[in-house]
Amino acid sequence: MDTPRLGFFIFIVITATASSASLKTTESQCMDLNTDSFRLFEGEAFRFVPHELGNNVPDDEVTWYKNNSQINITTDENQNVHYHGGALFFLNLCSENSGLYIARQEEPSGRCYNYFLQVDVFKRSNPMEKKFLYGSIEDSAVAKQIPCPDPVHNTCTSLAGTFSWSTQPPLPELQTFTSPEDRQKADLWIKTDTDAHNGIYTCTCTWKHNNKEYKSTASREVKHQEIEVHVPVEIISPTNKEQLADEGAGMKLNCSVYCGINVKSHCKSTWEVNGVSVQERDGYRQTSKVNLESPSQTTISTATLVIDRVSAEDFKTEFKCIGVGLSTNNFTIITLKRRESIIPLVSGGVCVLLFGVFAAMLVKCFAIDLALFFRRCIPLSSYKKDMRMYDAYVVYQMQSMDKDTEDALCQFISKILPSVLEEKCGYRLFIHGRDDIPGEDRLELVEDCMKQSKRLMVILTPGSGSELENADGPPASPQTSVIGGFDWQLGLHHALVQREMSVILIQLGDTGPKGYTHLPAGLQHLIQKSAPIRWPEGSRGATAWNSRFWKRVRYLMPATPAKKCLQSGII
């Protein structure tokens, strides 16, 4: 084979392969719709139009073929089986016509759909089997309407055919059911329905195609029933939304519904577990029964759900009791709840009590820490504005003390107190002896600075106040005022009488053999209300600003230092 022929052969093979792949891709892209099934009789005619396809579809858009074969059904109307305008015709059914018929519709827009028809052809049996019937009509109405089944009704309406009815067993008075002018109507009316009218009612349509006459039939069963009174479905039980249960034990749940009087076919009760029917779940069983209570004929359907073993998962599950009637349904949802015992209640109460005691102990132990923490979280604007210049006025006594006590007091007043409260915590202190202005009137200075202070900080030492035992007697001399007597008296006056400032008591060293009995009565009253904070001299970390001692002092100091208040006031 020469080169040109070889190239041409390869081109043909590639083109055929591509075409085949394109065809398979097109087929695979077609949307498959539902399958319609019909049981038909030999010798009859049948016309089928897919519901979604509709009538009067161009023949070039639809292709019918049988049993997945590539042999197309013809559009030749003279053939026994052909199609036209989307409708598939069987003019004279025979057993060879049984099979699956597929219609492929390819719209100009490129969309593709597959329609399926399953046809089974049988010889007519007598009496007619139920599988060939289009349902049954069972009610107690005096006048009964029997509609012609859709396949025959649609064919007769589309092809302008004629309706007729027959019964099995035959009823001679059937001709009296309809008048001649009603022969074109599809529905049959029975004016007075009794048990004598029970049987198979066949609707026959006589229609013409290519000037030939054909017949199509469809049948329904009619059963007369006693009068039934249907009411909206009512749930009788369960009435509670929660059912008590014991984990590990079995239990039963009853779903009872009331449907009406003498209801025999349209009354059903059932259970669903988390939206799934009981038959599809393991560990559950269901039984149902319908009771007609005598003599009232009240109809109650009861479904009993049996749980073999209640598990932990069942307490998280929804159990739905469903009642279905003729035209209404109803449901209620219940859940399982563990049956409580006294042991968990007692245990819970003990735990709550212990937690409360523990929380109270924590609050008591860390109350100061919590207060100091929240001070930083609360904005400055939330505090009442206090524009006084000093956070604390510090008073102390330096008489009647030995050399060691005097040195300790000087060390605390001049170094430790300012370094912690002023330098590290930002407070502003007035310490007499340190902040006095030389040459200024002492009494006037003390009174003015005392009024400008938010707290009175009293430093107690062994022997402090011994010179003030007669503070309620004659006024102190100028000599006594210089060493702090006037400061003490004025501070106590502001704290106890005018109540303009709070007092912070700090104890340096031991109280001595007399305790606090040598102090003035007013100061002793303050000590009884709030014990002095003892300075832990020599202890490790005593000078740290976050030590226990300084936390207690800071807790009693103003929440916002005077410097910040003054700056906020200026702004």
pLDDT digits (tens, 9 = 90+) for 119-145: 999 998 877 888 888 888 876 666 778
Does the residue 59 lie in any domain? yes
Question: Are 373 and 322 contained in the same domain?
Answer: no
pLDDT above 60: residue 245: yes
Q: Would 453 be classed as within a structural domain?
A: yes
Mode of pairing for the β-strands spanning 31-41 and 81-84: unpaired
509-525 confidence digits (pLDDT tens):
777 667 777 777 777 88
Domain boundary among 278, 309, 338: 338
In this structure, are 216 and 296 located in the same domain?
Answer: no
The pLDDT of residue 4? 47
Q: Do the domain assignments include residue 160?
A: yes
Q: For 35, which DSSP code?
A: E
Do 155 and 44 share a structural domain? Answer: no
Q: Is the predicted pLDDT of residue 231 greater than 70, yes or no?
A: yes
**What would the two tokens of residue 111 be?**
């969309």
Dump pLDDT digits (tens) for 447-490. 888 888 888 888 888 765 554 444 444 443 333 333 346 666 77
Do 431 and 534 lie in one domain? The reply is yes
CATH number at residue 333: 2.60.40.10
Please report the pLDDT score of residue 11 as a whole number: 45
Same domain as 514, residue 429: yes
Residue 248, domain member (yes or no):
yes
Nearest to 33 by CA among 135, 111, 133: 111
The verdict on residue 507 lying in a domain is: yes
Q: Which two tokens stand for residue 464?
A: 């402090």
Q: Are 333 and 275 in contact (CB under 8 A)?
A: no
pLDDT tens digit sequence for 53-64: 777 788 888 888
Task: Dump pLDDT digits (tens) for 276-287.
Answer: 888 767 788 899
pLDDT surpassing 90 at residue 292: no
Run of H or E residues at 64: strand 62-66
Task: Enumerate residues 6+ apart whose C-beta is below 8 A from 30.
Answer: 104, 112, 113, 114
Do residues 197 and 298 share a domain?
A: no
Instruction: Average the pLDDT over each of 52-61, 152-161, 354-363 and give the range with the smallest value.
Output: 52-61
How far is 218 from 128, CA to CA, in rounded Å? 11
CA pair distance 568, 380, nearest whole angstrom = 8
Note the pLDDT of residue 565: 61
Same domain, 153 and 266: no
Asked whether residue 53 falls in the same domain as residue 92, the answer is: yes
Q: Residue 498's pLDDT band (boundaries 50, 70, 90)?
A: low
| pLDDT of 431 | 85
Statement to judge: residues 489 and 559 lie in one domain: yes
Q: Looking at residue 485, what is its pLDDT?
A: 63
Q: Is the CB of residue 429 less than 8 Å from the CB of residue 532?
A: no
Give the percent of the chain with pLDDT over 90: 13
For residue 8, what pLDDT is reported?
Answer: 45
Q: What is the helix (H) or strand (E) element at residue 257, kind and residue range?
A: strand 251-261
Question: 19-33, pLDDT tens digit by residue?
Answer: 444 434 444 578 888
Question: Quick one: pLDDT at residue 254?
Answer: 92
pLDDT for 94 beyond 50: yes
In a domain, 426, yes or no: yes
Averaged confidence pLDDT in the chain? 78
Q: What average pLDDT does range 490-498 have in this prediction?
A: 70
Q: Could you write out the DSSP letters of every residue in 124-157? A: --SSPPGGGEEEEEEE--SSEEEPPPHHHHHHHH
Q: For the chain, what is the total number of helices (H) and then of strands (E)?
A: 11, 27
Domain boundary among 68, 89, 122: 122
Is the model more confident about 525 or about 1?
525
**Given the structure tokens 């300012």, which residue do they identify?**
418
Confidence (pLDDT) at 21: 40
Confidence of residue 569 (pLDDT cuts 50, 70, 90): very low
Q: Are residues 323 and 369 in the same domain?
A: no
Instruction: Count structural domains, the chain.
Output: 5
Indicate the residue among 63, 92, 122 that finishes a domain.
122
Q: What is the pLDDT of residue 137?
A: 81
Written as one letter, the residue type at 298 is T
* 12 found inside a domain: no
Domain of 270 in residue numbering reads as: 236-338
Task: Look at residue 478 and tell me if it is in a domain.
Answer: yes
Residue among 136, 139, 142, 138 at smallest CA distance from 193: 142
Q: Say yes or no: 373 and 395 in one domain.
A: no
Cis peptide before 462 (omega within 30 of 0): no
Q: Are residues 327 and 452 in the same domain?
A: no
CATH number at 467 reads 3.40.50.10140
Confidence of residue 382 (pLDDT cuts 50, 70, 90): very low
The structure tokens listed for 245 are: 């249960």
Task: Indicate the range of 348-362, 373-387, 470-484 predicted with least confidence.
Answer: 470-484
